[in-house]
Chains A and B, each alone.
Chain A
Amino acid sequence: MSTQNNSTADGHSSDTHGPGGAAHGSVKEYVLGLLISIILTGIAFYVVMFEVVSPALTLVVILATAVAQVMVQLVFFLHMNTSSEQIWNTTSAAFIIIIVAILIVGSVWIMSHLNHNMMIGH
């Protein structure tokens, strides 16, 4: 019994999972996450500050780098993955992304139609 407990504890400490059950990474993972984040932030600020491309393309670059950086930080800093320890964290996050999308897209959609309809008399 006690041997079994010990082996589980050892398995946990040598694994990428702490005693708190939350996953934690390595120096390499954090440094890589930091470097990619810096590059993505740099690209986003660069295209806006120096107006290197058309406004429409700038908008695309801002959104693409933002989504990419959020993903990078979720994976490298928050250690989100599909392992069995993390699957419910990831599942709840996927659910929240759907809710957030409905909330934001829905609000903007409804309010733009409202604006449009109110402007008819003008």
Chain B
Amino acid sequence: MTTSADLQVHDQDEHHHDSGGDTVFGFWIYIMSDCILFATLFATYAVMSGSFAGQITPKELFDLNFVLGETALLLFSSFTFGMAMLYAHKKSMRGMITWLLITFALGLGFLGMELFEFYHFSHEGATPQTSGYWSAFYGLVATHGLHVTGGLIWMLILFAHFKRDGFSDANMVRLACLSLFWHFLDVIWICVFSVVYLMGVM
């Protein structure tokens, strides 16, 4: 039954279909504010880029082959999440879960490599306390790693949500938000490997 009041409400909210779209847009705004967080860390890193305090320098420690491996894992995980999104829009649970599991494995691999790298660096005498440079390095790279960790935990929670409710509207919005978040992390990683690692060994 459609009353005039209903129509009026409907007219005012012309994007009533997109009530989930508003949530996704709100999440986009969060991501934009996250960019500012990373910008401050990049600015700190740039200012500290020569402050070695006579201690070990990145040139002695960075292994670009290793970083290339990390980059590949994250880039492919961004792609596989895209595939998961396509299957989600086709309402194919099997396809979506498969691609999302691959994404999760790649993300976990990236995190494992990063933690190993941190362990290796601190073993070689580069801890956050070593110099201004290494403080800025760990501050920036670990913040990105923390975001990846958050994304992985979110993915686990989403598995449970999809197992419980299937392709509900709420779950689709959650998946859309996580996909934005995951692609965003890959975009930040491009800046990290370019500015920190590639420029660090020059």
Residues in A lying within 8 Å of B, measured CB to CB: 1, 8-9, 12, 18-22, 24-27, 30-31, 33-34, 37-38, 41, 44-45, 48-49, 55, 58-59, 62-63, 65-66, 69-70, 73-74, 77-78, 85, 88-89, 92-93, 95-96, 99-100, 103-104, 106-108, 111
Contact = CB atoms under 8 A, between A and B. Distances in A.
Given A62-B194, A100-B39, A107 B176 contact: no
Contact of A22 (B21, B194, B201, B202): B21
Contact of A89 (B15, B20, B28, B172): B28
Contacts of B21: 20-22, 85
Interface in B1-39: 2, 15, 17-18, 20-25, 28-29, 32, 35-36, 39
A7 B107 CA distance: 39
Nearest to A2: B2
Contacts of A12: 17
A66 B46 CA distance: 16
Contact of B183 (A44, A48, A77, A93): A77
9 contacts: A19-B172, A20-B23, A25-B82, A48-B202, A49-B64, A66-B194, A78-B180, A103-B43, A104-B46
A19 B17 contact: yes
Contacts of B149: none
A95 B36 CA distance: 11
B121 to A, nearest CB: 19
A interface SS class: helix
B32 A20 contact: no
Interface stretch (B83-91, B112-120, B140-148, B157-165): B83-91
A57 B184 CA distance: 28
A21 B20 contact: yes
A58 B199 CA distance: 9
A20 B44 CA distance: 37
Given A62-B199, A96-B35, A37 B194 contact: no
Contacts of B24: 20-22
Given A48-B198, A89-B25, A89-B28, A21 B15 contact: yes
Nearest to A30: B82
B46 A41 contact: no
B182 to A, nearest CB: 9
Given A19-B20, A66-B194, A1 B2 contact: yes
A41 B20 contact: no
Contacts of A62: 194, 198-199
Contacts of B78: 73, 77
Interface string B35-57: 11001101110110000000000
B42 A104 contact: yes
A99 B198 CA distance: 25
B79 interface: yes
Given A8-B17, A18-B176, A31-B79, 8 more contacts: A18-B172, A19-B172, A22-B21, A27-B86, A41-B68, A41-B75, A58-B202, A107-B47
